[in-house]
Amino acid sequence: MVFTILSKDTITKARTGILKTRFGDVETPFFMPVATKASVKYISSDDLEKIGIKAIISNSYILSLKPGEKIIQNLGGIGKFMSFKGAIFTDSGGFQMYSPKLYIKSNYEGVFFRNPFSGEKVFMTPEKSMEIQQAIGSDVAMCLDSMPLYENSKEEIEEAVKKTTLWAKRCKKHHDKLQKNKKKKQLLFGITQGGVYKELRKKSTEEISKINFDGYAIGGLALGEPKEEEYEMIKIVKSLIPENKPIYLMGAGDPTELMEAIALGCDIFDSRFPTKNARHGTLFTWQGKLSLTNSKYKSDDSKIDSKCDCFVCKNYSRAYLHNLLWHNEGAGLRLVSYHNLFFLNELMKKTRNSIKEGKFYELLEKIRQIYR
Amino acid sequence: MVFTILSKDTITKARTGILKTRFGDVETPFFMPVATKASVKYISSDDLEKIGIKAIISNSYILSLKPGEKIIQNLGGIGKFMSFKGAIFTDSGGFQMYSPKLYIKSNYEGVFFRNPFSGEKVFMTPEKSMEIQQAIGSDVAMCLDSMPLYENSKEEIEEAVKKTTLWAKRCKKHHDKLQKNKKKKQLLFGITQGGVYKELRKKSTEEISKINFDGYAIGGLALGEPKEEEYEMIKIVKSLIPENKPIYLMGAGDPTELMEAIALGCDIFDSRFPTKNARHGTLFTWQGKLSLTNSKYKSDDSKIDSKCDCFVCKNYSRAYLHNLLWHNEGAGLRLVSYHNLFFLNELMKKTRNSIKEGKFYELLEKIRQIYR
């Protein structure tokens, strides 16, 4: 069993579970920091360990360009390469279709990308993505999906759904072949698309759920669409995915967004949001968001969050961190990123405990109030 | 006694000692990382503590502009502001005369600087510098000196020597007034100038040494002049400064340069060299310098230095750090900076032990060989 449900909330669809990866077990719900280039921005693997992070996601497309999947494979895989003691997911590069700097065009065969480092054209196919992710040695691979933009027309999104299903089948087939006879298998997650169009999201989920993936991701959301639309789409996906499969909402990292998605039955999350926000001075606290770059903090001797146990809150004042951010000092960018990841990781811990203790709804309401 | 000599080498002028500051004792010789804006680049105060750094130097001119000396004073001084548990030196801003972005002009009264953050003109006088450094609450203040460029004419350097002496007297007078009746006194170091002109360096040192400073710094060296000229100047200063005064060579941070200067009788050092070099991929090891950005390291699984005990060498491979530097990842910039500071701090520890055990010359020869 890849995924075992441990406990369920009675009011919402929230649940706790265990995702079994070849690295080890990870308790759900959990949040993954993003380590696109094999590093979370400003946060090294030892920091991740201190925070208590059990899983991260990297980007197999970027890693295949630099340092190259063969180098990582020869060095014993991405976990050893990064010295990260946890489960590692890799995204396929599908999300990079969102970047005008990287994306050129796509057809039914695959995607033409620009190599941002050399300028060369790269043709990515479902098969190639599976091979790269296997070589990189992540614990969970993601299918190559076709990622539309939020502003794309319904026709364009329909086309993306079609490609996503086609590629999902090819990913699964090739992944099965590659993993055959392996003792410790890499997991493979499917991804649903469909933008915020109910019928397209339903179609995509129905098609993807027919393929027996280890887990199912919700792609193409958390991109700035109204939250109501996002939650509507989660409900559709959730209603169509078997109960015993983990659901991964890609790109969500705002505290309320995570809590609402957990209430709707999601188990796994990733986002650059907490670290990016931190670098721009927006810090998560148990009293809500704090804009540390506000000049009122320049002489504030108190901690970011008096209720936080992270070493940043134990050691440094708002005034000092405000000053470091003002000067864009690397040490400061690390400290605030550390704090935000610590906060989200604590929030996930509290969430798991609250579900087990039948108190999830209370915590949800609290976070709704604090972060409204 | 501000400075107590503990042991002396018999072959060279190397010595160990104790510098007594109001924060506490620091054993010499020691190297100070540079925390211009109240932070060593990419390295937070907790990292400094883990490395074992006992003293750092910050820049009172920059701090007076942002966050402003009053804010630091109200927050309990720079040590508390930074949460750094060690002695803190502050430079006056004299060194900033080296920067065309910051320096406008100077006269006998003081220096006109540009505030790089607001564009405004700032007039810095010896008295104002003493007041700023007192407010910031550093443990050791530096005189406002007149810093010439290496390429300046002899006449310009002579003029700088003249100003430096004039300002040193005013600094001492004003500092004495400010420190009167204080229980725990801030120390004040004088600075000699004179470029690489023997007679000017001699003149400056004679004039400055007549003023009873707690220590004497050698300014205007380690700026790219030939090493022989640098060492020649150190010899002149050393011959004129009383034996019981600590000597601080400003701006030196290369392993051989430190060792040669210690052999000539210097006790204190600071430089951006180790962290700046690290960020550009030049790492110090017990086998010499290593250019980590060289592509031959992209798949090298070994540690930066197998003989190093720092957590970076314990956890990360050359290949991984090479990749992080290639991507200019903040986490990587921190890790390599940490390693170089750890190396220099270890080198200083070994140096102190070698002097005590009568083995300094052996270590000096070893470093000369490794870093030739």
Nearest residue, CB atoms, A320 vs list B82, B298, B335: B82
- Indicate the range of A22-36, A80-94, B27-41, B95-109 predicted with least confidence: B95-109
Nearest residue, CB atoms, B83 vs list A47, A83, A315: A315
Q: Taking CB atoms and an 8 Å limit, are A67 and B326 in contact across chains?
A: yes
**A276 — contact with chain B (CB < 8 Å)?**
no
Q: Which residues of B touch A329 (CB under 8 A)?
A: 37, 39, 41-42
| Angle CA B302–B305–B309, to nearest 5 | 110
Catalytic residues of B: 91, 270
- Asked whether the predicted pLDDT for residue A43 surpasses 90, the reply is yes
Q: Which residues of B touch A298 (CB under 8 A)?
A: 67, 71
Give A135→chain B minimum CA distance, Å: 15
Nearest residue, CB atoms, A331 vs list B42, B299, B301: B42
A316 in the same domain as A285: yes
A70 in the same domain as A25: yes
A146 in the same domain as A68: yes
Query: Tens digit of pLDDT for each residue in A129-182?
Result: 999 999 999 999 999 999 888 888 999 999 999 999 999 999 999 999 999 999
- Asked whether the predicted pLDDT for residue B368 surpasses 90, the reply is yes
B133 in the same domain as B111: yes
Q: Supply the CATH number for residue A75's domain.
A: 3.20.20.105
Q: Taking CB atoms and an 8 Å limit, are A75 and B319 in contact across chains?
A: yes
**A11 — contact with chain B (CB < 8 Å)?**
no
**B73 — contact with chain A (CB < 8 Å)?**
no
Q: Which residue of B has its CA nearest to A75?
A: B301
A267 in the same domain as A318: no
How many structural domains comprise chain A? 2
B257 in the same domain as B185: yes
- Asked whether the predicted pLDDT for residue A128 surpasses 90, the reply is yes
Nearest residue, CB atoms, A334 vs list B75, B301, B334: B334
- Asked whether the predicted pLDDT for residue A224 surpasses 90, the reply is no
Q: Taking CB atoms and an 8 Å limit, are B326 and A38 in contact across chains?
A: no
SS3 sequence of B181-210 = CCCCCCEEEEEECCCCCHHHHHHHHHHHHC
Count CB pairs under 8 A between chains A and B.
123
| Angle CA A42–A48–A49, to nearest 5 | 150
Q: Taking CB atoms and an 8 Å limit, are B75 and A42 in contact across chains?
A: no
Here the ipTM equals: 0.96
A339 in the same domain as A227: no
- Asked whether the predicted pLDDT for residue B98 surpasses 90, the reply is no
Query: Tens digit of pLDDT for each residue in A259-311?
Result: 999 999 999 999 999 999 999 999 999 999 999 999 999 999 999 999 999 99
B277 in the same domain as B265: no
Q: Which residues of A touch B66 (CB under 8 A)?
A: 323, 326-327
Q: Which residues of B touch A327 (CB under 8 A)?
A: 37, 39, 66
The range of the structural domain enclosing residue B203 comes to 3-271
Query: What confidence tier does B84 reach under pLDDT thresholds 50, 70, 90?
Result: very high
- Asked whether the predicted pLDDT for residue A94 surpasses 90, the reply is no
- Asked whether the predicted pLDDT for residue B328 surpasses 90, the reply is yes
Instruction: Find out whether B237 and B218 touch, Cβ atoms under 8 Å.
Output: yes
What are the distances in angstroms from CA B105 to CA B100, B110, B114, B126, B221? 10, 9, 10, 15, 21
Average pLDDT of every residue of chain B: 97
Candidates A36, A37, A314: best to mutate against B (most CBs of B within 10 A) is A37
Residue A151 pLDDT: 82
Q: Which residues of A touch B41 (CB under 8 A)?
A: 329-331
**A135 — contact with chain B (CB < 8 Å)?**
no
- The residue out of A219, A247, A271 marking a domain boundary is A271
Q: What is the DSSP letter of A282?
A: E
Query: What confidence tier does A87 reach under pLDDT thresholds 50, 70, 90?
Result: very high
Residue A245 pLDDT: 98
- The residue out of A255, A271, A287 marking a domain boundary is A271
Q: Which residue of B has its CA nearest to A301?
A: B75
Q: Which residue among A139, A254, A267, A270 is the active-site one?
A: A270
Residue B237 pLDDT: 98
* Residue range B83-101: mean pLDDT, rounded: 91
B82 in the same domain as B172: yes
**A320 — contact with chain B (CB < 8 Å)?**
yes
Q: Which residues of B touch A310 (CB under 8 A)?
A: none
- Indicate the range of B53-57, B90-94, B266-270 predicted with least confidence: B90-94
DSSP letter string over A63-126? Answer: HHHTT-HHHHHHTT-HHHHHT--SEEEEE-SGGGGG-TTTEEEE-SS-EEEE-TTT--EEEE-H
Is residue B255 reached through a cis peptide bond, with omega within 30 degrees of 0 on the bond before it? no
- Asked whether the predicted pLDDT for residue A48 surpasses 90, the reply is yes
A119 in the same domain as A41: yes
Query: Tens digit of pLDDT for each residue in B275-322?
Result: 999 999 999 999 999 999 999 999 999 999 999 999 999 999 999 999
- Asked whether the predicted pLDDT for residue A98 surpasses 90, the reply is no
Helix (H, G, I), strand (E, B) or coil at B142: strand
Q: Which residue of B has its CA nearest to A66?
A: B323
Q: Give the separation between CA A172 and CA A179, rounded to whole angstroms.
A: 10
Q: Kind of pairing, strands A282-285 and A288-291? A: antiparallel
Nearest residue, CB atoms, B40 vs list A301, A331, A334: A331
Instruction: Find out whether A255 and A371 touch, Cβ atoms under 8 Å.
Output: yes
Nearest residue, CB atoms, B298 vs list A71, A323, A324: A71
pTM: 0.97
- Indicate the range of A133-142, A346-355, B222-231 predicted with least confidence: B222-231
B293 in the same domain as B253: no
Residue B148 pLDDT: 86
Nearest residue, CB atoms, A39 vs list B75, B81, B329: B329
Residue B99 pLDDT: 85
Query: Tens digit of pLDDT for each residue in B170-213?
Result: 999 999 999 999 999 999 999 999 999 999 999 999 999 999 99
Query: Tens digit of pLDDT for each residue in A164-177?
Result: 999 999 999 999 99
Structure-model confidence comparison of residues B57 and A151, the more confident one = B57
Candidates B34, B36, B37, B50: best to mutate against A (most CBs of A within 10 A) is B37
B248 in the same domain as B159: yes
Q: Give the separation between CA A262 and CA A251, rounded to whole angstroms.
A: 14
- Indicate the range of A65-69, B74-78, B151-155, B329-333 predicted with least confidence: B151-155
Q: Which residues of B touch A136 (CB under 8 A)?
A: none
Q: Which residues of B touch A74 (CB under 8 A)?
A: 299
**B321 — contact with chain A (CB < 8 Å)?**
no
- The residue out of B252, B271, B290 marking a domain boundary is B271
Residue A95 pLDDT: 81
Amino acid (one-letter) located at A254: D
Query: Tens digit of pLDDT for each residue in A306-334?
Result: 999 999 999 999 999 999 999 999 999 99
- Asked whether the predicted pLDDT for residue B151 surpasses 90, the reply is no
Run of H or E residues at A358: none
Residue A97 pLDDT: 82
Closest CA to B57 of B83, B80, B79: B79
Average pLDDT of every residue of chain A: 97
Is residue B67 reached through a cis peptide bond, with omega within 30 degrees of 0 on the bond before it? yes
